[in-house]
A and B are shown apart, each in its own frame.
Chain A
Amino acid sequence: MKNTGPVSTQTLVSFDGFDTAKVCIQEPDRYRYWDEQKAEQLQISRGAGLSYVGASFCAKSTSVSLRHFNRILDFCTHTNSVDVETGISLQELNAFLRSKNRYLPIQPGYGRITVGGCIAANTHGKNPCIDGTFIDIVSSLTLFHPAYGMIEASRDENEDVFDLTCGGYGTTGHIIRARLKVRDIQTQTVIVKSHYFSAPQKLIEAQKEMTPRSLFCYSWHSMLHSGKNFGQGIVFEGQFSEGSPVHNEPKGTLAAATLASHTRGMLPISLMNQMSLRCINAYFSYKSRRLQKGKESSLQEALFPIHGQELYFKLFGKKGFHEYQAIIPFQKTEEYFDVVKFLSKKFKIILTLGSGKIFSGQTQNLRYNGKGVSLALNLPRNPSSLQFMSALDAKIIAMSGVPNIIKDSRLPASTVEACYPDYHKVRQRLISFDPKRLFCSILTQRLEL
């Protein structure tokens, strides 16, 4: 039985270009839609549709877009929290919070991503070591499941549902509303500094030292050079500038967020090759080295660094790209860089990006967290890239690393099972909560959830 309401049939593609399906989409704009939902309809929530993986669609599910459920419901200075409908984008929410001298301390770097997407994927921000992950700023949420109706969940109420939903990839239902903790803005200006290091281990040590005192701290690694300079790069740290009044916003506006999964792959071929990558890296290095003495940036630009850099993703063309992001235990990072260098040579892989952050949490459920360095690698999709990724899977398992489920469209269930100790428990809890397993996407099918 199908849900009531108009339906559109579209071909959707994951942001990395790997997962694609012809799907039915609904875009309800009133609460009565939830009253009329049928208990047998396979479905999944959809936010901005910017997940690298097919997390919000599959051929046999109806994708339910929450874009009209994007309102601000309450803001409380006493509890320093904001209640929102989860279809709201991070950029829109931050624009509102800025007017109240607040911001979200944990969020990914692209403004079009929705709050619902952040909760479902339990995204991290720019300083997960200190700030944690998105679940740490979710106080409560309202979830809709056709069998149960609206469920209020928090750490005190329906705590199992809350725990399963945050980082649950939409498997428990539609997240309609959420209460989020916000933080005071100290100043509207952030000082961003860059520090160059010739070896990846030095970058990591520097990051470990800078992270506790920074608003954000992440590394960029050049993976082009062979030899001992492989993985050299830059650590970026940001801190609120002192002495700049809260109400003084720096000039210049944040570049518009223009990325969409269906337009990312408009170039018929990939323009990522050794030559173009050398140019990109050289330009990026040059721009970044100018930050060595520190540069003022608006908080908004610091929160959304990908704005204005969208061309990078488009250069991968229609075939798309892979991202392999994994938390590597600190004691294994040097070995991991050696492995990546070896495998990239073996399979003749161009690694277009390496980026790292320090994590200090625990791997619970299927949430991406752990203690170590999270290193993200980007590479163009081609026949040998899958072999490279599979080889990395084996190494990650051997090193007790944790791969990021929301970043890798081919990550097999066996790797997730090996790296996430709670994998089987989560499956059992989901079956217990929703025996009919109504919430289904390409991602959940691949992971056998």
Chain B
Amino acid sequence: MASISIIIGASAGVGRALATILAENGKSLLLVASDTRDLDALKSDITNRYDVGVWTLATSVLQLETFLDDYKKLLQRFSDIECLAFPIGYASEHDTFESQADIIPPIIAINLSIIPEIIKASKDKLESAQQARIVGFGSIAGARGRDQNVIYSAAKRGLESYFESLRHYYSDKAVRVQFYKLGYVDTQQSFGKDLKFPVIKPQIVAQQFMRDKNKDFGSKYYPRFWGLICTVLRFLPWFLYKKLKF
């Protein structure tokens, strides 16, 4: 039985980039996403290029009970979890106060509530590792509430709080907890939008992820310049902030 690195939300964007870079570094992988076609293609690509083991779990995380059953069964194959990363996310154009669409439950579930459940299911295997790493991905959208991406921003801010708590819990154990608050990344979420700030490739995020593997930084903005922008936004007086439309 071997150590495993797990990516929840592996099929595209940052998840796919993480899978590739971990495989380049010789890590065996468990890839989780909703569509088996995407996972099969990614698995084939990785196993053809790199000499690593790859397992996949194609299921909707919204069917939580079924997912957790399958997930726990799969975990039995591995001695421990070396890395558990959550690049998973879901946003919707209907995530506004005007929309009647029923998008609140999936946005909250995918961006926030399933993550503690998965970490709970992974706890024993994480704590068996010599050194484990749990990595969450938030967003600059969580810096301050606004009238766009309403539930998404709330969920990401909630996730950041959860990861702070997780880091506190694991502070004296061999589990490192890291949280990235990502700026604009070249994925479907940013595609086609008129963005005023640079968009980075998922591969750049993945490279930073690898550089940070032994660092105990807690939480950080990536790219770093977003830290300044989000700090300004957070402390902007209300009479100015309410005029911003973004």
| Chain A interface residues (CB < 8 Å from chain B) | 5-9, 25, 27-32, 68-69, 71-75, 85, 96
Q: Please state if A29 and B44 are interface contacts (CB–CB under 8 Å).
A: no
Out of A7, A25, A85, name the residue touching B41 (CB < 8 Å): A85
**A94 to nearest B CB, angstroms?**
13
Out of B11, B42, B48, B187, name the residue touching A96 (CB < 8 Å): B48
| Known A-B contacts A71-B42, A73-B45, A74-B44; A8 and B12 likewise in contact (beta carbons under 8 Å) | no
CA A29 to CA B12, docked complex, whole Å: 6
Q: Please state if A29 and B187 are interface contacts (CB–CB under 8 Å).
A: yes
**A144 to nearest B CB, angstroms?**
12
Q: Please state if A72 and B12 are interface contacts (CB–CB under 8 Å).
A: no
Closest A residue to B193 by CB, please name it.
Answer: A6
**B1 to nearest A CB, angstroms?**
28
CA A187 to CA B123, docked complex, whole Å: 51
Q: Please state if A72 and B49 are interface contacts (CB–CB under 8 Å).
A: yes
Out of A30, A73, A74, A85, name the residue touching B11 (CB < 8 Å): A30
Q: Please state if A6 and B188 are interface contacts (CB–CB under 8 Å).
A: yes
Top 4 A-B pairs ranked by shortest CB distance?
Answer: A71-B45, A8-B192, A31-B37, A29-B12
Q: Please state if A6 and B35 are interface contacts (CB–CB under 8 Å).
A: no
B13 on the A face (CB < 8 A):
yes
Q: Please state if A71 and B44 are interface contacts (CB–CB under 8 Å).
A: yes
Residues of chain B lying within 8 A (CB to CB) of residue A9: 192
CA A28 to CA B45, docked complex, whole Å: 18
Which positions 36-89 of chain B face chain A at CB distance < 8 Å?
37-38, 41-42, 44-45, 48-49
CA A108 to CA B44, docked complex, whole Å: 26
Out of B12, B44, B193, name the residue touching A68 (CB < 8 Å): B12
| Known A-B contacts A71-B41, A72-B45, A73-B44; A31 and B187 likewise in contact (beta carbons under 8 Å) | no
Out of A25, A31, A68, name the residue touching B35 (CB < 8 Å): A31
Residues of chain B lying within 8 A (CB to CB) of residue A28: 188
Q: Please state if A73 and B49 are interface contacts (CB–CB under 8 Å).
A: no
17 further interface pairs, Cβ-Cβ under 8 Å (given A6-B192, A8-B192, A73-B48) = A6-B189, A6-B191, A8-B191, A27-B191, A28-B188, A29-B12, A29-B13, A30-B12, A30-B35, A31-B41, A69-B41, A71-B41, A71-B45, A72-B49, A74-B48, A75-B48, A96-B49
CA A75 to CA B45, docked complex, whole Å: 10
Residues of chain A lying within 8 A (CB to CB) of residue B35: 30-32
Residues of chain A lying within 8 A (CB to CB) of residue B193: 6
On chain B, which size bracket covers the interface?
10 to 19
Residues of chain B lying within 8 A (CB to CB) of residue A31: 35, 37-38, 41
Q: Please state if A5 and B45 are interface contacts (CB–CB under 8 Å).
A: no
Residues of chain B lying within 8 A (CB to CB) of residue A27: 188, 191
Q: Please state if B38 and A30 are interface contacts (CB–CB under 8 Å).
A: yes
**A6 to nearest B CB, angstroms?**
4
CA A31 to CA B188, docked complex, whole Å: 13
**B48 to nearest A CB, angstroms?**
5
| Chain B interface residues (CB < 8 Å from chain A) | 11-13, 16, 35, 37-38, 41-42, 44-45, 48-49, 187-189, 191-193
Closest B residue to A82 by CB, please name it.
Answer: B48
CA A313 to CA B10, docked complex, whole Å: 39
Residues of chain B lying within 8 A (CB to CB) of residue A72: 44-45, 48-49
CA A71 to CA B45, docked complex, whole Å: 5
**B120 to nearest A CB, angstroms?**
28
CA A412 to CA B44, docked complex, whole Å: 44
**B18 to nearest A CB, angstroms?**
15
CA A430 to CA B47, docked complex, whole Å: 38
CA A71 to CA B192, docked complex, whole Å: 24
Closest A residue to B45 by CB, please name it.
Answer: A71
CA A75 to CA B47, docked complex, whole Å: 10
CA A119 to CA B44, docked complex, whole Å: 22
16 contacts between A and B (CB under 8 A): A5-B188, A8-B191, A27-B188, A28-B188, A29-B13, A29-B16, A30-B12, A30-B38, A31-B38, A71-B41, A73-B41, A73-B44, A73-B48, A74-B44, A74-B48, A96-B49
**A71 to nearest B CB, angstroms?**
4
Q: Please state if B192 and A7 are interface contacts (CB–CB under 8 Å).
A: yes
CA A7 to CA B193, docked complex, whole Å: 8
CA A8 to CA B192, docked complex, whole Å: 4
Q: Which of A6, A27, A69, A85 is the most central at the interface, judged by chain B CB atoms within 10 Å of its CB?
A: A6
Residues of chain B lying within 8 A (CB to CB) of residue A73: 41, 44-45, 48
CA A9 to CA B191, docked complex, whole Å: 10
Closest A residue to B20 by CB, please name it.
Answer: A71
CA A194 to CA B41, docked complex, whole Å: 44
**B71 to nearest A CB, angstroms?**
21
Residues of chain B lying within 8 A (CB to CB) of residue A74: 44, 48
Residues of chain A lying within 8 A (CB to CB) of residue B13: 29
CA A91 to CA B56, docked complex, whole Å: 28
**B103 to nearest A CB, angstroms?**
15
CA A30 to CA B38, docked complex, whole Å: 6
Residues of chain B lying within 8 A (CB to CB) of residue A7: 192
Residues of chain B lying within 8 A (CB to CB) of residue A85: 41
CA A74 to CA B13, docked complex, whole Å: 22
Residues of chain B lying within 8 A (CB to CB) of residue A75: 48
Residues of chain A lying within 8 A (CB to CB) of residue B42: 71
CA A360 to CA B193, docked complex, whole Å: 49
Closest B residue to A150 by CB, please name it.
Answer: B37
Residues of chain A lying within 8 A (CB to CB) of residue B44: 71-74
**B47 to nearest A CB, angstroms?**
9
**A432 to nearest B CB, angstroms?**
30
CA A29 to CA B193, docked complex, whole Å: 16
**A430 to nearest B CB, angstroms?**
28
